[in-house]
Amino acid sequence: MKTQSTTLDITKASSSRISEVDFDNLAFGKHYSDHMMICDYKDGQWQTPQVLPYGPLSMDPSSKVFHYGQAVFEGMKAFKDEDDKVWLFRPEDNFKRINISAERLAMPAFPKEYFFEALETILKFDKDWIKTGKGNSLYIRPFVIGTENGVSASPSSEYKFIIICCPAKAYYSNPVKVTIAQKYSRSADGGVGYAKAAGNYAAQFYPTNLAKEKGYDQVIWTDANTHEYLEECGTMNVFFRVGDKLITAPTNDRILDGITRKSIIALAEDEGVTVEVRRVSVKEIVEAAKNGELKEIFGAGTAATIVPFLGFDFNDEYFELPQVENSYGARFKTRLQDIQYNLAEDKFNWTYEVK
């Protein structure tokens, strides 16, 4: 069924594939909801966005994304409360960030009204794909790719902005063991580390595979210049609790401005926890682990929410972390999810109801 809205060209799926999905046994990113959005950029402007049934794309082999990596993306989630209302968490931040990422890769900014109308339309159509209960969500993946045909090394003149969604549970079901990077780097000064560029993640896969071969789940990345300072962990920002202080690295052109990260800082400060946003040295954390001051480390991100670490490896020495009662990670995860699922007051004005 095809309809026209103020700004969208809408074709609704004739039937749903939801019955094909076992929601009790979801593998992250393996099943996709019934609808998606595609909007083309050509002749210097974005065309009318289309909301249509989820399905494959047809692209020329010379499309520039395949040759020069012009691709950026976002990660968001929609949540459903016990009254069947659907909520987004800080979507304005995701919208702003994908345009920041796009600018760094010489891609055009996407209009705000297109983004929100398309997103809300998909979520209304695919509301049944969002299950109630903590841990359940609909993961939302907006992304932009360069689609101009041609293998000349220059920015594309044509793009596709696409939004797809998949039902999700926790990205990590258990605490993780990590190793600290001493050779490989996630990003460098002046690079694209602060952008959610697809190539950032591709470059992580090889050193992460090496870590997994040694029994570790992820890598805590260090600065490219000296490998003396801790930055991110895998696809997450990372927090260290030393004594009763919570410490995390500052954002810069190497570190992603994580939305979950910002939320945890705000929650911690609201509870009176001392938060230090500063460079964190490997030496400092190793010494804190040795003298018993290091109480916990946890990762934070949209897909992961908050993930506790069991321990970390450095120089082939493994440091087990203590089991802390009322840990910061568990506390802030509970409080964050209570806001996301509309179970607690949102005094920060983070949530956005899809009506």
Task: Quickly state the pLDDT bin for 6 (edges 50, 70, 90).
Answer: low
For 331, the enclosing helix (H) or strand (E) is helix 328-340
Residue 75 CA to residue 124 CA, distance in Å, equals 19
* CA distances to 2, 92, 211, 257, 272 from 232, in Å: 45, 23, 15, 11, 25
Residue 118 scores a pLDDT above 80: yes
Condensed to tens digits (0 to 9), the pLDDT of residues 294-307 reads 999 999 999 889 99
Task: Quickly state the pLDDT bin for 4 (edges 50, 70, 90).
Answer: low
Residue 192 scores a pLDDT above 90: yes
Q: What are phi and psi of 180, to 5 degrees?
A: -90, 130
Task: Quickly state the pLDDT bin for 7 (edges 50, 70, 90).
Answer: confident
Provide the phi-psi class of 175: left if phi over 0, else alpha when psi is between -120 and 50, else beta. beta
Q: To 10 degrees, what angle do helices 328-340 and 259-270 make?
A: 110
Condensed to tens digits (0 to 9), the pLDDT of residues 19-33 reads 999 999 998 999 999
List of residues 6+ apart from 176 with CB closer than 8 A: 217, 218, 299, 307, 308, 309, 310
Question: ∠195-122-59 over CA atoms, to 5°?
Answer: 60
List of residues 6+ apart from 236 with CB closer than 8 A: 218, 258, 299, 300, 301, 304, 307
DSSP letter for 290, please. H
Structural domains for the chain: 2-168 (3.30.470.10), 176-340 (3.20.10.10)
DSSP letter for 129, please. G
Residue 82 CA to residue 185 CA, distance in Å, equals 43
Q: How many residues does the chain have?
A: 355
Task: Quickly state the pLDDT bin for 3 (edges 50, 70, 90).
Answer: low
Provide the phi-psi class of 207: left if phi over 0, else alpha when psi is between -120 and 50, else beta. alpha
> How do beta strands 71-73 and 45-46 pair?
unpaired
Contact status, residue 254 vs residue 223, Cβ threshold 8 Å: yes
> Range with the lowest mean pLDDT among 103-107, 168-172, 229-233, 247-251?
168-172
Token duo for residue 234: 């895998």
Residue 214 CA to residue 209 CA, distance in Å, equals 9
Residue 139 scores a pLDDT above 90: yes
Task: Quickly state the pLDDT bin for 174 (edges 50, 70, 90).
Answer: confident
Residue 236 scores a pLDDT above 90: yes
Identify the three-state secondary structure at position 168: strand
Contact status, residue 80 vs residue 130, Cβ threshold 8 Å: yes
Contact status, residue 130 vs residue 123, Cβ threshold 8 Å: yes
